[in-house]
Every structure is written in structure tokens, then in C-alpha cells.
Structure 1
């Protein structure tokens, strides 16, 4: 649904050049929720504004729903009628809502429809329909100053849906909201994704946002995408920094002769206690040192750090048991003499384990 190829954006500021995007490639599939993560200055906002051509890239291409937007703008970069039509099919939700205080909630939602030239009766019907969709039908005649932050963002979402977009862009839509309101807005976005078949591209600096609703994610740093993929793919990738940030595990590793393993539930394991099965079937004492697991739809995803008695060579059958159930197993090197612990980023060999 969204493809960026070798995207570059260079700003000229006070006689010098600043590269905001440096050869970015991005591929967002139809119907998925895709998160872009990164710290301030990573290039996230520039990227999302290039997707709808609010910022014209210096080079590279942007294609949305099969239409190359970078080929639609005129030589001067100004929007022409073809680009404006394409933009009308891309909704945008902003961090600070950007509502007009002089207009009622319904009139704010009607604004893009007014710009599209729809008659007043049709605008009103559509606006009421959208406000009902986001749970604000009773606030149609209210003004933005009378709303909470979460309600304002729901109005912003309703307005973004006015043109029946195929793609919804979200620019830090929840960063100005409290945790409970954030959860309700994320649930609304997920519901809209499923009900309307919307493709959603969102930028955020919050890992919980990605964990809660995203199907795929990318990490940006210094204007580049340094890691990307579906959440299961990222969890399955050895050494994935995003996986470690999404599901951090901690646990003290004592100076004792044992095998310490990081186990990743990357495919969404059926909701059953693998640890209990391992302990029972292999008659082994399993100690859970730390875990970051979530369950959705009866399936688990995340990471767990466990300790098994004795050396890795003695635990080959246990490691094999975990692998047979679709888990990725990484080892930690534990030296009993002086309790030196170092991370082994490679998968544990099936018959060797961590040393």
C-alpha cells in the first residue's frame, strides 16, 4: 500500500545542508498497522510528511495505493489537481489535534468535505456518521475547548476519515495523552483498521504503542531505517535491538554452574506453559530469571530468561524441546569461577548450547 524507495530529504539551513532522510526504503502492506520508531531528530516526522507530499523529497519515490505521488507534483513542487486528489485518499492525524476553535466538532469534521465541494446536507450526514464511528455523536454541537484531550483526538481521527481514505497517517497521535486515554485511542485505531480495512502508518517514540497495535515496525536513526520487519520477524531475528527494547528481560545470573537461556516466543505460541512442560517431561528444575511476555488471542509473544542446572551439554534435550515448539533460544556464557557473564548473540547450537 505504501512504498518508499531510496528516499532522501535535504534541508538547506543558513548556508548549510541538513540531511533528514538518507536513502530510506519502506514497504507497508495493505491493511497492516506499521510503526516508525526513533528518537527526536531521527527523521520520523519528515518521512511521514513525505508520504503524503506535505514535504517534497529531494530524491527517491513515494507510491501509495499504486500511484506514484512523487511523479504528480509539478516542477516547482506545488500541488496540482492530481496530487490533491491523491492526498484526499490519505488521512492525517496530528499530535496536537489541529482543530479550529471557532468551529463546532461537527463543523471541524465537515471541513475537508467542504474543501472537496460536497453540498451541506451530504457533509452533515457524513460528519454525523463519522462522529458516531469514533464514539462522539453526542458532542457534535460542542466546541473543541469543551472537550478532553482524548475527545479532541477522536475528532481529529473522524476528520481524517472524512475523505474515505485508504491510508491513515498518525504523527505521534497519542504522545500528548495520558496512559488510559492512549489505550482507548489505540484501541479505536485498531478497530478502524479492522472495520474499514485501513492501512495505518504511525510514528511514535513509545515502545508500548508498537507492542499494543502494530503488525510491523521500523527503527530510524540519523535519517536511516536501521531495522524493519513484522513483529514476529523482528523477534525471530538474532540480535534484534528492537526485539530487546520491545520485550526487555532482566535477571541476575549468579556465579553457579548452570545454563542460562533467553527464550523468544516469536511466532505466537499457543497459550500453554512451555516451562511447566519442560520441567515435567524432562525432569529438570527450571528457574525463571526474568520475562516480558504478552498474550493476545490465546497466544503468547515476548522473551523469557531461564536457568537450567548443569552445563549446556547436559541440557541438549531441553534446548531441543524448546526449539521443537517454535521458540528461538539464545545462550549466555556463564563462568562460575568469577561470575563473569557475557552475552552470546548467536543462536545456541542444538547440541552445544551456551558455554
Structure 2
């Protein structure tokens, strides 16, 4: 549904260049909730604004629902007026009408009622007053604000304002919904309700949702797939379940931080990832009894992701790696993903797995 290819955005100011996006390839499947996560300055906001061409990419292509938006954009802001340019801009506006966007700070018009805010994009599309009104009321009902149609933004809570923003973003019957840090200004309980609303809309309407966030809990709560951005690049991406099953995944470590360092020399640190049924089995106690070894748990995290219980644990085994090959093999036989913290030992383990 959304594809970016070698997407680059360079800002130029006073003789200086800042590269916000550096060759980004992104692939979002139809009907999924896809999260892009990263710290401030990673390029997340620039990426999502390039998807609907609120920002014009310096180079590369953006394709949404099979349509190359960068081709529709023509020569960009610096283009001279002409029939071809006007037609391209009109085509881009039509394409954008099928892409909804939810903003971090709501961007509601304070002088308009809630209903009138939702009607605004329909006015721009030239929809008649009666149809606008009916559509807006239906959307407010969909987001749980049917009783607030006549209220003004100042009378709403932050979560209610964001629900109005979501209803407004849905006014054009979009196939794609973009969310630009939509929950970062909200308290935790309200954040959960908005994320649940986005997931419900994804399922009910078949929406493809692309959201950016700096919060790992958002990825765990609603996302089917995720990408980690650093310095304008996507350094890791995939379905959340695949990412968690990838040895050495930085995104998995961010999603489920376990921490903990070795307590002394001649100790082996092992990171375990539990999926599905393996998460409910007493594997660590079985390991301890079977091999009569003392195991230290240095850290653990467990959560439900996409309806599946997933967890990570960091344990310490007595002795060097070569002394723990058999216990580590036992852990792998139980269906656990095993990552050895020591680099040399990890390579050795990978080679054994390949055999």
C-alpha cells in the first residue's frame, strides 16, 4: 500500500545542508498497522510528511496504493505555472484526499464546532451541506463523540480533541491513515484508548495505518510491523514477531529491555526470547534441575504483542561458553531463541545452529 524507494530529503539553509532522510526504503502492506520508531532527530516526522508530500523529497519515489505521488508532484514548489503543472497539482490533491493524517497537536480550528471541524475537508472537496453534516455525524459516532458535535475544541479533553482529529482524517474515506506522534501529548490511559481506536478502525475499515512514535509501548500495543530509524536511515524493519525472533535485533532489545551484566569472570550471559507456548513453560527451572546448575536471572520483560505472549530474559550461567554448550542446546530444543551476549561465543553458537 505504501512504498518509498531510495527516499532522500536534504534541507538547505544559509549554505549548510542537513540530510533528514538518507535513502529510505519502506514497504507497508495493505491493511497493516506499521510503526516507525526512533529518537528525536531520527527523521521520522520528515518521512511521514514525505509520504503524502507535505514535504517534497529531494530524490526517490513515494508510491501509495499503486500511484507514484512523486510523479504527480511535477517539478515541485519551484515549478513555473502552466497547464501541465496545474494538472499535476490537481492530481496530487486528489491522491492526497485518500490519505488521512492525524497530527500530534490536533490542529483543530477553535472557532468551529466539533462537527464543523470534521466537515472541513468535505467542504474543500465540494460536498454539499446536507451530505457533509450526515457524514460528519457518522464519523463522530464512529470515534465515540456523537454527543460532542456542537461543542468547541476548548471544551474538550486532549483525548477527545484527538478523536475529532481522527474523525476529520477519515472524512475523505482514505485507504491510508498517517499518524504523526498522535499520542505523545496524551496521558497513558488516554494513549491506550486512542491506540485501541486506531486498531479498531484498522480492522473495521480495512485501513492501512502508518504511525511514527518514540514510544516502544506504542509498537507493542498496536503494530503488526515496525521499523527502527537512526540518522535518517531505516536500520531494521519487519513484522514485530519476526523482529523479536531475529538474533541480535536492536529493535527487540528496545522493545523488551532486560539489562543486567555478568557478576564475575567465567560466566556466560544468555538472552532468551519466549514465543507462544514456550512462554508458559517452566523452562528455567527445568534447566536448573536437569543439569544441576545455579542460574541467575539478570532481567526479564513479558508482554502481549498482537495477541501473543512474548517475553525476553537475560540469564547468567556459571562457567565459560564452552562449558555451557549442552545447557544452551537444551534451551534451544525447548523452542526458545537463544542469543549469547559474548560476541565470540555467539558466532560459535550460530555456526553450530547452521550445522
| CA deviation after TM superposition for structure 1 residue 253, in Å | 2.8
Matched position secondary structure for 1:293:
strand
* 1:48–1:217 CA distance, 2 compared to 1 (3 A): same
Within 1, Cα distance between the matches of 2:350 and 2:73? 55
Q: Say yes or no: does 1:217 pair with 2:226.
A: yes
* 1:194–1:283 CA distance, 2 compared to 1 (3 A): farther
| CA deviation after TM superposition for structure 1 residue 156, in Å | 0.3
TM-score (norm: length of structure 1):
0.88
Q: Corresponding residue for 1:36?
A: 36
Matched position secondary structure for 2:191:
helix
* 1:278–1:164 CA distance, 2 compared to 1 (3 A): farther
TM-score (norm: length of structure 2):
0.88
| CA deviation after TM superposition for structure 1 residue 66, in Å | 1.0
Within 1, Cα distance between the matches of 2:252 and 2:301? 11
Q: Corresponding residue for 2:301?
A: 292
Q: Say yes or no: does 1:49 pair with 2:49.
A: yes
Matches within 5 A, 1:143-292: 143-255=152-264, 258-265=267-274, 269=278, 271-279=280-288, 285-292=294-301
Q: Corresponding residue for 2:82?
A: none
* 1:318–1:300 CA distance, 2 compared to 1 (3 A): farther
Indicate conservation of the 8 Å contact 1:23/1:224, yes or no.
Answer: yes
Matched position secondary structure for 2:11:
strand
| CA deviation after TM superposition for structure 1 residue 172, in Å | 0.8
Matched position secondary structure for 2:159:
helix
Farther off after superposition, 307-316 or 117-126: 307-316
Q: Corresponding residue for 1:66?
A: 66
Q: Which runs of 5+ in 2 are unaligned?
A: 78-84
Indicate conservation of the 8 Å contact 2:287/2:327, yes or no.
Answer: yes
| CA deviation after TM superposition for structure 1 residue 168, in Å | 0.6
Farther off after superposition, 169-178 or 70-79: 70-79
Q: Say yes or no: does 1:109 pair with 2:135.
A: no
Matched position secondary structure for 2:349:
coil
User: Deviations 1:73-117 (Å, cap 9, x if unpaired)?
Assistant: 233447622111111111000000000111111111111111112
Q: Corresponding residue for 2:3?
A: 3
* 1:155–1:20 CA distance, 2 compared to 1 (3 A): same
Indicate conservation of the 8 Å contact 1:268/1:299, yes or no.
Answer: no
| CA deviation after TM superposition for structure 1 residue 313, in Å | 4.6
Matched position secondary structure for 1:265:
strand
Matched position secondary structure for 2:312:
strand
Q: Which runs of 5+ in 1 are unaligned?
A: 334-342
* 1:27–1:315 CA distance, 2 compared to 1 (3 A): same
Q: Say yes or no: does 1:86 pair with 2:90.
A: no
| CA deviation after TM superposition for structure 1 residue 153, in Å | 0.4
Indicate conservation of the 8 Å contact 2:223/2:306, yes or no.
Answer: no
Instruction: Kindly report the root-mean-square deviation, in angstroms, between the aligned alpha carbons of the 2 structures.
Output: 2.6
| CA deviation after TM superposition for structure 1 residue 31, in Å | 1.4
Structure 1 or 2: larger strand share? Answer: 1
Q: Corresponding residue for 2:133?
A: 124
Farther off after superposition, 246-255 or 199-208: 246-255
Indicate conservation of the 8 Å contact 1:316/1:352, yes or no.
Answer: no
User: Deviations 1:128-175 (Å, cap 9, x if unpaired)?
Assistant: 111111111111111000000011001001111111111110111111
* 1:53–1:217 CA distance, 2 compared to 1 (3 A): same
Indicate conservation of the 8 Å contact 1:331/1:348, yes or no.
Answer: no
Within 2, Cα distance between the matches of 1:140 and 1:90? 24
Structure 1 or 2: larger helix share? Answer: 2
User: Deviations 1:20-42 (Å, cap 9, x if unpaired)?
Assistant: 21111111111111111222222
